[in-house]
Amino acid sequence: MSDQLAPARRRGLADEVADNIREAIFSGVYGPGTQLREVELAGALDVSRGPIREALLRLEREGLVRSAWHRGATVTTLSPDDIAELDSLRGALEQLAVQEAIANASDEDLAAIESAADRMDRAEDAHAMVRCDIAFHDSVYAATRHRRLQEAWEAIRCQVHLFLLTRIGVSTEGYLGFIPHEHRELVAALRSRDTEAALKLFATHRRHAVEVLTRPN
Protein backbone atom coordinates (compact mmCIF):
# COMPACT_ATOMS: atom_id res chain seq x y z
CA MET A 1 0.00 0.00 0.00
CA SER A 2 2.86 2.39 0.78
CA ASP A 3 3.90 2.48 -2.88
CA GLN A 4 0.50 4.01 -3.72
CA LEU A 5 1.15 7.11 -1.59
CA ALA A 6 2.85 10.24 -2.90
CA PRO A 7 5.96 11.30 -0.94
CA ALA A 8 4.97 13.79 1.77
CA ARG A 9 7.95 16.05 1.07
CA ARG A 10 7.04 16.48 -2.60
CA ARG A 11 3.44 17.28 -1.73
CA GLY A 12 4.62 19.80 0.86
CA LEU A 13 6.99 21.36 -1.64
CA ALA A 14 4.19 21.86 -4.16
CA ASP A 15 2.16 23.57 -1.43
CA GLU A 16 5.05 25.91 -0.70
CA VAL A 17 5.52 26.68 -4.39
CA ALA A 18 1.80 27.42 -4.75
CA ASP A 19 2.00 29.77 -1.75
CA ASN A 20 4.94 31.62 -3.31
CA ILE A 21 3.29 32.03 -6.71
CA ARG A 22 -0.02 33.05 -5.11
CA GLU A 23 1.76 35.68 -3.04
CA ALA A 24 3.52 36.97 -6.17
CA ILE A 25 0.14 37.33 -7.89
CA PHE A 26 -1.40 39.11 -4.89
CA SER A 27 1.66 41.39 -4.62
CA GLY A 28 1.42 42.44 -8.25
CA VAL A 29 4.62 40.71 -9.37
CA TYR A 30 2.53 38.67 -11.82
CA GLY A 31 -0.38 40.70 -13.11
CA PRO A 32 -3.46 39.44 -14.97
CA GLY A 33 -2.51 37.86 -18.29
CA THR A 34 1.11 37.24 -17.30
CA GLN A 35 2.51 33.96 -18.60
CA LEU A 36 3.80 31.65 -15.89
CA ARG A 37 6.56 29.64 -17.55
CA GLU A 38 7.49 26.46 -15.75
CA VAL A 39 11.20 26.72 -16.57
CA GLU A 40 11.46 30.30 -15.28
CA LEU A 41 9.47 29.54 -12.13
CA ALA A 42 11.55 26.44 -11.43
CA GLY A 43 14.73 28.50 -11.72
CA ALA A 44 13.43 31.34 -9.58
CA LEU A 45 12.21 29.01 -6.83
CA ASP A 46 15.09 26.54 -7.15
CA VAL A 47 12.86 23.50 -7.59
CA SER A 48 12.20 20.99 -10.34
CA ARG A 49 9.30 21.40 -12.76
CA GLY A 50 7.22 18.71 -11.04
CA PRO A 51 6.25 20.84 -8.02
CA ILE A 52 5.70 23.79 -10.34
CA ARG A 53 3.14 21.82 -12.37
CA GLU A 54 1.38 20.67 -9.20
CA ALA A 55 1.32 24.21 -7.84
CA LEU A 56 -0.10 25.64 -11.07
CA LEU A 57 -2.85 23.00 -11.06
CA ARG A 58 -3.77 24.00 -7.52
CA LEU A 59 -3.83 27.69 -8.47
CA GLU A 60 -5.96 26.84 -11.48
CA ARG A 61 -8.48 25.17 -9.17
CA GLU A 62 -8.47 28.33 -7.07
CA GLY A 63 -9.27 30.40 -10.15
CA LEU A 64 -6.01 32.38 -10.11
CA VAL A 65 -4.45 30.67 -13.14
CA ARG A 66 -5.77 29.51 -16.49
CA SER A 67 -4.12 27.01 -18.81
CA ALA A 68 -4.35 26.71 -22.58
CA TRP A 69 -2.49 24.28 -24.78
CA HIS A 70 -0.99 27.00 -26.98
CA ARG A 71 -0.07 29.44 -24.21
CA GLY A 72 0.57 27.39 -21.10
CA ALA A 73 -0.42 28.89 -17.76
CA THR A 74 -1.32 32.56 -17.35
CA VAL A 75 -2.61 34.63 -14.46
CA THR A 76 -6.39 34.91 -14.78
CA THR A 77 -7.81 38.01 -16.42
CA LEU A 78 -11.38 38.45 -15.26
CA SER A 79 -13.85 38.81 -18.13
CA PRO A 80 -17.20 40.60 -17.80
CA ASP A 81 -18.85 37.17 -17.48
CA ASP A 82 -16.37 36.19 -14.76
CA ILE A 83 -17.14 39.38 -12.85
CA ALA A 84 -20.90 38.88 -13.16
CA GLU A 85 -20.75 35.25 -12.01
CA LEU A 86 -18.39 35.99 -9.14
CA ASP A 87 -20.50 38.92 -7.99
CA SER A 88 -23.72 36.92 -8.05
CA LEU A 89 -22.19 34.06 -6.07
CA ARG A 90 -20.46 36.40 -3.65
CA GLY A 91 -23.72 38.27 -3.17
CA ALA A 92 -25.63 35.11 -2.33
CA LEU A 93 -23.01 33.99 0.19
CA GLU A 94 -22.67 37.43 1.68
CA GLN A 95 -26.40 37.81 2.21
CA LEU A 96 -26.43 34.67 4.33
CA ALA A 97 -23.19 35.70 6.04
CA VAL A 98 -24.63 39.06 7.12
CA GLN A 99 -27.77 37.41 8.45
CA GLU A 100 -25.84 34.74 10.34
CA ALA A 101 -23.25 37.18 11.69
CA ILE A 102 -25.93 39.48 13.05
CA ALA A 103 -27.66 36.52 14.67
CA ASN A 104 -24.56 34.82 16.07
CA ALA A 105 -21.69 37.28 16.44
CA SER A 106 -20.35 37.85 19.94
CA ASP A 107 -18.94 41.15 21.13
CA GLU A 108 -15.48 39.69 20.52
CA ASP A 109 -16.45 38.80 16.94
CA LEU A 110 -17.69 42.33 16.29
CA ALA A 111 -14.49 43.76 17.79
CA ALA A 112 -12.44 41.56 15.43
CA ILE A 113 -14.47 42.82 12.44
CA GLU A 114 -13.96 46.41 13.55
CA SER A 115 -10.24 45.85 14.07
CA ALA A 116 -9.96 44.48 10.53
CA ALA A 117 -11.64 47.64 9.22
CA ASP A 118 -9.36 49.88 11.30
CA ARG A 119 -6.26 48.25 9.81
CA MET A 120 -7.28 49.62 6.42
CA ASP A 121 -6.27 53.10 7.59
CA ARG A 122 -2.70 51.84 7.97
CA ALA A 123 -2.48 50.07 4.61
CA GLU A 124 0.66 51.25 2.84
CA ASP A 125 -0.47 50.56 -0.71
CA ALA A 126 -3.23 49.05 -2.83
CA HIS A 127 -2.01 45.48 -2.31
CA ALA A 128 -2.01 45.91 1.47
CA MET A 129 -5.46 47.47 1.25
CA VAL A 130 -6.83 44.44 -0.58
CA ARG A 131 -5.34 42.12 2.03
CA CYS A 132 -7.09 44.16 4.72
CA ASP A 133 -10.32 44.02 2.72
CA ILE A 134 -10.13 40.23 2.47
CA ALA A 135 -9.29 39.99 6.19
CA PHE A 136 -12.38 42.07 6.95
CA HIS A 137 -14.61 39.65 5.07
CA ASP A 138 -12.80 36.69 6.66
CA SER A 139 -13.77 38.08 10.05
CA VAL A 140 -17.40 38.51 8.99
CA TYR A 141 -17.61 34.90 7.84
CA ALA A 142 -15.88 33.72 11.02
CA ALA A 143 -18.55 35.52 13.05
CA THR A 144 -21.32 33.51 11.38
CA ARG A 145 -20.31 30.31 13.22
CA HIS A 146 -21.47 28.55 10.04
CA ARG A 147 -18.80 26.06 8.97
CA ARG A 148 -20.12 25.23 5.53
CA LEU A 149 -20.70 28.88 4.73
CA GLN A 150 -17.09 29.61 5.68
CA GLU A 151 -15.96 26.77 3.43
CA ALA A 152 -18.00 28.20 0.55
CA TRP A 153 -16.31 31.57 1.10
CA GLU A 154 -12.89 29.89 1.10
CA ALA A 155 -13.74 28.36 -2.29
CA ILE A 156 -14.05 31.80 -3.93
CA ARG A 157 -11.77 33.80 -1.63
CA CYS A 158 -8.76 33.86 -3.97
CA GLN A 159 -10.91 34.90 -6.93
CA VAL A 160 -12.43 37.71 -4.86
CA HIS A 161 -8.89 38.80 -3.94
CA LEU A 162 -8.02 38.93 -7.65
CA PHE A 163 -11.25 40.82 -8.34
CA LEU A 164 -10.42 43.42 -5.68
CA LEU A 165 -6.91 43.88 -7.06
CA THR A 166 -8.35 44.39 -10.53
CA ARG A 167 -10.90 46.86 -9.19
CA ILE A 168 -8.30 48.99 -7.43
CA GLY A 169 -6.09 48.90 -10.51
CA VAL A 170 -8.71 50.77 -12.57
CA SER A 171 -10.14 52.95 -9.80
CA THR A 172 -10.23 56.71 -9.94
CA GLU A 173 -7.95 58.81 -7.77
CA GLY A 174 -9.18 58.99 -4.20
CA TYR A 175 -11.03 55.68 -4.27
CA LEU A 176 -8.39 53.96 -2.14
CA GLY A 177 -8.93 56.47 0.63
CA PHE A 178 -12.69 55.90 0.57
CA ILE A 179 -12.44 52.15 1.28
CA PRO A 180 -11.79 52.40 5.07
CA HIS A 181 -14.77 54.74 5.50
CA GLU A 182 -16.98 52.37 3.52
CA HIS A 183 -16.01 49.46 5.74
CA ARG A 184 -16.56 51.41 8.95
CA GLU A 185 -20.13 51.90 7.76
CA LEU A 186 -20.44 48.14 7.34
CA VAL A 187 -19.13 47.63 10.87
CA ALA A 188 -21.68 50.10 12.26
CA ALA A 189 -24.49 48.26 10.48
CA LEU A 190 -23.39 44.92 11.91
CA ARG A 191 -23.05 46.39 15.42
CA SER A 192 -26.57 47.80 15.19
CA ARG A 193 -27.81 44.27 14.36
CA ASP A 194 -30.15 45.85 11.85
CA THR A 195 -30.29 43.09 9.26
CA GLU A 196 -32.13 45.06 6.59
CA ALA A 197 -29.80 48.06 6.82
CA ALA A 198 -26.72 45.86 6.86
CA LEU A 199 -27.84 43.89 3.80
CA LYS A 200 -28.43 47.11 1.88
CA LEU A 201 -25.00 48.50 2.80
CA PHE A 202 -23.16 45.31 1.89
CA ALA A 203 -25.04 45.17 -1.44
CA THR A 204 -24.14 48.80 -2.15
CA HIS A 205 -20.50 48.05 -1.31
CA ARG A 206 -20.43 45.19 -3.83
CA ARG A 207 -22.24 47.24 -6.47
CA HIS A 208 -19.71 50.06 -6.23
CA ALA A 209 -16.88 47.58 -6.79
CA VAL A 210 -18.54 46.01 -9.83
CA GLU A 211 -19.43 49.39 -11.35
CA VAL A 212 -15.76 50.40 -11.30
CA LEU A 213 -14.91 47.38 -13.47
CA THR A 214 -17.90 47.44 -15.81
CA ARG A 215 -18.27 51.14 -16.56
CA PRO A 216 -17.52 52.22 -20.16
CA ASN A 217 -13.99 53.47 -20.84
Q: 80-214 — its CATH code?
A: 1.20.120.530
Specify whether the CB–CB gap between 12 and 21 falls below 8 A.
Answer: no
Whether this prediction's pTM lies above 0.75 is answered by yes
What tens digit of pLDDT does each residue of 108-153 get?
999 999 999 999 999 988 899 999 999 999 999 999 999 999 999 9
Mean pLDDT of 67-71: 83
Domain 2-75 CATH class label: mainly alpha
What percent of the chain stands above pLDDT 90? 77
pLDDT at 167: 85
- For 59-68, the CB contacts below 8 A with 24+ separation are 59/18, 59/21, 59/22, 59/25, 62/22, 62/158, 62/159, 63/156, 63/158, 63/159, 63/162, 64/22, 64/25, 64/158, 64/159, 64/162, 65/36
- Fold matches, 2-75 and 80-214: no
| Residue 3: per-residue pLDDT | 52
Residue 120, classed as helix, strand or coil, is: helix
State the average pLDDT over residues 79-103: 96
Where do the structural domains in the chain lie, given as residue ranges? Answer: 2-75, 80-214
- Does residue 178 surpass a pLDDT of 50? yes
Q: At residue 4, does pLDDT exceed 60?
A: no
H helices of the chain, in order, are 8-26, 38-45, 49-61, 80-104, 107-118, 126-143, 147-169, 175-192, 195-214
Separation CA 183–CA 118 (nearest Å)? 9
Tens of pLDDT, residues 16-39: 999 999 999 999 999 999 999 999
Arithmetic mean of pLDDT over the chain: 90
